[in-house]
A = this chain, B = another copy of it.
């Protein structure tokens, strides 16, 4: 956390407002198969004007070549170096945040699968034939109705998509150093809950008892008679953004995962709709309440994941249309970037550097004339790691004291 501590030392309050607009997965590729990126294809006069009057650059989310998930992608943008082990958000926690669950600091979470086993207890399907979400909900309701604590341990089970659920345990001092119970193979029984070190043994015993109770309730279920648990984890104990940066930080995100990550970093989550216009509405209403506004647009990533370049470009055009309303609020610094690239060609997240635009009174006006990947190569901001961005934003907002005399 060295760079965060460094910033914390220098951060000072100021009467300035910073907007960080994250266009999820905005970066794309230009190749012989896909000769234009979504930013190339989209008609975005407002973004281009902002680029002309500000600085461009690029962000590397983790390390060169490394493709991040949404967790590390956003943690980087918020200033946390995602390569540090203490910044890691576990799979169970991410899944829980994605379901909009409120986690306490001591809650232990795991991702669950409903699965099926034969009469000998050997797994026959690790995903229970990919049961529909409705069936998953029914099973979770049955389990919740059957019991909600085991030996003083509170047990909550929340349905996800298809065969997936999230288990949340609380009420004891619990360790997250537990191995997955999913053997990743058929014809063998699920693994027992095992501690990965001595400190986790009591928790392993407790989790073992919970699994037994869950399986007992499922014994006569035709669709699924076993649970498999993975990614045991607790909320990371992250330094909180308000303390580090000395700003009141608000998160405006229409999807739960991003609200959850923002909340884990200490931002206040503001209710809002799913589209950029909704985010601008909510930001407008909360303009006096915060100094830092994180706005998250999900649809660029979704279109990229679908491999739909035209849809991705259309999302950018809707953002462009409502951008003047956001700028009219008078933010001192506006940064527009992504948490990673999601090239439509790849239908997946990628490692490609993320376009970055910073606008503000003290942003160097470089020769950029449009906001797209090729232009950002030559931008004044150069190539930064994502977790270096917050320092730049604070600086442009007059919120960092001089270092040394």
Chain A residues packing against B (C-beta within 8 Å): 2-3, 6-7, 10, 29-33, 35, 53, 58, 62-72, 82-83, 88-89, 91, 94-95, 343, 345-346, 348-353, 361-367, 373-374, 377-380, 382-384, 388-396, 400-405
Among B53, B72, B361, B383, point to the contact of A404 (Cβ < 8 A): B72
Closest 7 A/B residue pairs (Cβ): A65-B391, A65-B395, A69-B404, A72-B404, A65-B392, A69-B405, A64-B388
Chain B residues lying within 8 Å of A379, measured Cβ to Cβ, are: 377
Chain B residues lying within 8 Å of A388, measured Cβ to Cβ, are: 63-65
CA distance A405 to B365 in the complex (A): 36
Among B6, B64, B346, point to the contact of A63 (Cβ < 8 A): B6
Chain B residues lying within 8 Å of A6, measured Cβ to Cβ, are: 63, 66, 83
**Closest Cβ–Cβ distance, residue A274 to chain B (whole Å):** 21
Chain B residues lying within 8 Å of A30, measured Cβ to Cβ, are: 364-366
**Closest Cβ–Cβ distance, residue A251 to chain B (whole Å):** 19
Copies of this chain per assembly? 2
Among A67, A364, A401, the most chain B Cβ lie within 10 Å of the Cβ of A364
CA distance A91 to B396 in the complex (A): 26
Chain B residues lying within 8 Å of A373, measured Cβ to Cβ, are: 364, 380
- Given contacts A32-B53, A353-B382, A382-B383, A402 and B67 within 8 Å (CB-CB): yes
**Closest Cβ–Cβ distance, residue A91 to chain B (whole Å):** 5
**Closest Cβ–Cβ distance, residue A256 to chain B (whole Å):** 14
Among B3, B10, B377, point to the contact of A382 (Cβ < 8 A): B377
Evaluate contact between A391 and B66: CB separation under 8 angstroms: yes
Chain B residues lying within 8 Å of A365, measured Cβ to Cβ, are: 30-32, 35
Chain B residues lying within 8 Å of A83, measured Cβ to Cβ, are: 2, 6
Evaluate contact between B405 and A71: CB separation under 8 angstroms: yes
Chain B residues lying within 8 Å of A32, measured Cβ to Cβ, are: 53, 365
Evaluate contact between A66 and B403: CB separation under 8 angstroms: yes
**Closest Cβ–Cβ distance, residue A12 to chain B (whole Å):** 12
Among B349, B362, B363, B389, point to the contact of A402 (Cβ < 8 A): B349
